[in-house]
Chains A and B, each alone.
Chain A
């Protein structure tokens, strides 16, 4: 039985890792060769492909993406946690309304608000910079919703009452009691926000009009597009942009799993 489980696990792992392997192998071939069949063995064109990628400001674009994603994580986690804590654990006027509002805004597709958002950013004077791509995470309805649920399920109100009786200040309770308990939730949210902002395409596409501020997905889609699409170079760039996300996921996978499954089973 155990061997069967292992075989299943190995097969599933291979199946899910295969696309990554192909991506890496494709980045070592000439584009035209990619169409002759799926390449299994690495080719000898990696140097050229890397050259194509690095020739065009890849490192700066990488820096832009990192800046955006890290700022997005900080901003989204901060606001979402505060919203979540407030709505989940405090009784105040408009609380239900606020929660409903968070859920409602989740239902509005980004595309609908896009033009309005660009106009807003232009009036704030931050059009054509990285700010629009970062600030969009300041009001992140999914994050708010996720933290409301997470805090409601994982923090017993009695615990907060105890802390109050013992004389802990409200910010103290938040920092010393709530934050340590919701670590898995924070990690999950941070990973998700990082991933989404790292892969975000539409928003940087329409808000950034300066090649200096392009982020990775927009940059990669602009790579080798004249008359012939240089898929091999794109694969090389994709490999380089996927690896950090993979590492992040591997590092955070333990807490990440905990966060995703928390609240799934009610005791």
Chain B
């Protein structure tokens, strides 16, 4: 209708003299426009139709959200609603949701598979346009800090969640807190990391493949460099410590958990000077390979036995080591990194602050990632380890029993080693939106440092700061 009105105003001076040719000219001009109007009208019709159809879900959903906490927490069958979750791991959800529904039969969990590389973009456009946003949001390591700074996740320590931060392993708290110190997520699984090492090479060159012995031999980074030099000499340069600078740097950076961001002040010197100095000492000692992370040569090196160590978290045995060295059963081991354990990877799970089904969403998050039933299923089926402290006390027997990849690692109890040797002295790193910038600058620079050995540690840090400023012009870099 508007379009017709607009057309009539275009009519010149209200002349009534109409000839046939003129009509046809007008017609030609108006044809596409009326067609468009028709298309829009058709869509408008669709509006009223489809506006109704999704609503059956929402009243029940909001009733789920509004139901009183007391009755809900006592009787899981009282909670109802449809909870939407975006996850990349469909297999996990397909296994976990039926388990969840055994206890909460009236909550429907809908999974949409979203690639972690696209997650934030999809989420932001959803929020900006006011269209669909999931009730449960996942933050992968690469963008976790950015997600927390968007301020779209609810504070889980408040009602209706009443999450208690003392219930999870202490080191994980910084990984699930935003810059205001509020806990806004729970860990999907803990990701403490040590080094996967080649038992055969350790035995051959250092005379032992026992993790406890190796821990002693490699208690500081200076020891590590000394042992690396020894390894290089004994093997005639055929075996080195790490496949590349990328592996070494991710360990060093993640070990250094100093808070380096305060508002827009970014203290890169505090965060990176130590790691870069040690990294360059290793490079100059010639104990690092020249591979870049995740390249074909890097993957292939695991089976070839060119390098002693690969940083590894609990997801590593399956997806990393055994996938790239399928014949390597029995020749791998796990040892703590020099000086301290560090975190590698990890995904935080939070709840959208404008969700209409907060209670139902929390019921799922709590069940899948924190509760005893969920955590047990999670560990037994997928090997994921919860961050919930009490679980490890109650289920001690589970972790004393051999795990799925223990044989591959020469009969070493991997879960116990992570829990008893790596986690106790670990500290968590506060999350910030600048973490991903540090990551991308690092990925751009370390190949250069590998190639050009004339670059010194100080020059590298300065270059790092310059690149960082280019990518984050709003930050005051120190």
Where the two chains meet, the residues of A that have a C-beta atom closer than 8 Å to any C-beta of B are 32, 34-36, 56, 78-79, 82-83, 85-86, 89-95, 98, 114-115, 118-119, 121-129, 131, 135, 138-139, 170, 205-207, 209-211, 214, 221-222, 225-228
Could you tell me if B129 and A91 are in contact, using CB atoms closer than 8 angstroms?
A: no
Q: List 21 A-B contacts (CB under 8 A).
A: A35-B296, A35-B300, A36-B296, A79-B32, A83-B32, A86-B28, A91-B25, A118-B125, A122-B131, A123-B47, A125-B47, A126-B43, A126-B46, A126-B50, A127-B131, A170-B27, A209-B112, A209-B126, A211-B111, A221-B115, A222-B115
Instruction: Indicate the member of A85, A92, A207 with the most B CB atoms within 10 Å.
Output: A92
Asked if B32 and A129 make an inter-chain contact with CB atoms under 8 angstroms apart, the answer reads no
B29 at the interface (CB under 8 A from A): yes
Contact of A118 among B32, B48, B84, B129 (CB under 8 A): B129
Knowing A93-B10, A211-B112, A227-B319, the reply to whether A125 touches B29 (Cβ < 8 A) is: no
Q: Give the docked Cα–Cα distance between A121 and B129 (Å).
A: 10
Q: Is the CB of B319 within 8 A of A228?
A: yes
Q: A35 touching B10 by the CB < 8 A rule?
A: no
CB B242 to nearest CB in A, in angstroms, measures 19
Asked if A124 meets B44 with Cβ closer than 8 Å, knowing A86-B28, A209-B132, the reply is yes
* Residues of chain B within 8 A of A35, CB atoms compared: 296, 299-300
B39, A138: Cβ atoms closer than 8 Å: yes
Decide: B318 and A139 in contact? CB cutoff 8 A: no
CB contacts (< 8 Å) of A139 on chain B: these are 36
Least distance between A107 CB and chain B CB atoms (Å): 20
State the CA gap A85–B28 with chains docked (Å).
Answer: 8
- What total of A-B pairs shows CB separation below 8 Å? 129
Q: Which residues of chain B from 388 to 409 have any CB-CB distance to chain A below 8 Å in the complex?
A: none
Query: Which residues of B have CB within 8 Å of A207?
Result: 131
- Which residues of B in the span 99-127 have a Cβ within 8 Å of any Cβ on A? 110-118, 121-122, 125-126
* Complex interface: chain B residues within 8 A of A123 (CB): 47
Contact in complex: A129, B29 (CB < 8 Å): no
Instruction: Name which residue of chain A comes closest to B43, CB basis.
Output: A124
CB neighbours (8 Å) of B296 from chain A are 34-36
Are A119 and B130 in contact, CB atoms less than 8 angstroms apart? Answer: yes
The docked-state distance in angstroms from the alpha carbon of A127 to that of B50 is 9
Are B315 and A86 within 8 A (Cβ)? no
Interface residue SS majority, chain B: helix
A129 and B300 contact, CB distance less than 8 A: no
Closest 8 CB pairs of A and B: A125-B47, A35-B296, A227-B319, A118-B129, A90-B28, A92-B29, A209-B132, A86-B28
Interface size on B, residues (CB 8 A): 57
Q: Which residues of A contact B92 (CB under 8 A)?
A: 226
The answer to whether B51 has its CB under 8 Å from any CB of chain A is yes
Chain B residues near A227: list those with CB within 8 A.
315, 318-320
Question: Distance in Å from the Cβ of A161 to the closest Cβ of chain B?
Answer: 11
CB atoms of B319 and A93 under 8 A apart: no
CB atoms of A82 and B128 under 8 A apart: no
Instruction: Give the complex CA separation of A211 and B89 in angstroms.
Output: 13
Q: Known contacts A92-B29, A131-B46; can you find 4 more A-B pairs with CB under 8 A?
A: A32-B324, A135-B43, A138-B36, A225-B115
The reply to whether B47 and A205 contact each other, CB–CB distance below 8 Å, is: no
Most chain A beta-carbon neighbours within 10 Å: one of B51, B126, B134: B126
CB contact between B128 and one of A34, A115, A128 (< 8 Å): that residue: A115
**Most chain B CB atoms below 10 A, which of A95, A123, A124, A207:** A124
Q: Are A32 and B47 in contact (CB under 8 A)?
A: no
Q: How far is the CB of A36 from chain B (nearest CB, A)?
A: 6
**B206 close to A (CB within 8 Å):** no
0/1 string, B207-238, CB within 8 A of A gives 1: 00000000000000000000000000000000
Contact B131 A128 (CB under 8 A): yes
Cα(A221)–Cα(B122), bound, Å: 14
Query: Considering the chains assembled together, what is the distance between the CA atoms of A95 and B299 in angstroms?
Result: 61
Query: Please, which residues of chain A bring their CB within 8 A of the CB of B118?
Result: 205, 221
Residues of the A chain whose Cβ atoms lie less than 8 Å from the Cβ of B86: 209
For the complex, give the distance between the alpha carbons of A239 and B118 in Å: 23
Nearest CB on B from A221, distance (A) = 5
B110 partner residues in chain A, CB cutoff 8 A:
210
B32 in contact with A86 (CB, 8 Å): yes
Q: Is the CB of B35 within 8 A of A98?
A: no
- CB-based nearest B residue for A37: B296
Question: What is the distance, in angstroms, from A216's C-beta to the closest C-beta of chain B?
Answer: 14
Residues of chain A within 8 A of B14, CB atoms compared: none
Contact A115 B47 (CB under 8 A): no
Minimum CB distance partner of B40 in chain A = A124
With the chains together, A46 CA to B39 CA distance in Å? 45
Q: Which residues of A contact B117 (CB under 8 A)?
A: 221
CB contact between A222 and one of B88, B91, B318 (< 8 Å): that residue: B88
A160–B299 Cα distance when bound, in Å, is: 67
Closest to A117 in B: B129
Chain A residue at smallest Cβ distance from B51:
A125
Note all chain A residues with C-beta closer than 8 A to B315: 227
Contacts of B90 in A (CB 8 A): 56
Q: Is the CB of A32 within 8 A of B128?
A: no
Q: B24 in the interface, Cβ–Cβ < 8 Å?
A: yes
Across the interface, name the chain A residue whose C-beta is closest to B117. Answer: A221
Closest residue of chain A to B91 (Cβ to Cβ) is A226
Complex interface bits, B317-330 against A, C-beta within 8 A gives 1, otherwise 0: 01110011010000
Cα(A93)–Cα(B77), bound, Å: 67
B31, B39, B125: the one contacting A115 at CB < 8 Å is B125
Which residue of chain A is the closest to B296 with respect to CB atoms? A35
Contacting residues, chain B, for A36 (C-beta < 8 A)? 296, 300
Are A115 and B132 closer than 8 Å at their CB atoms?
no
- Contact of B49 with A by CB under 8 A: yes
- What's the least CB distance linking A53 to chain B, in Å? 14
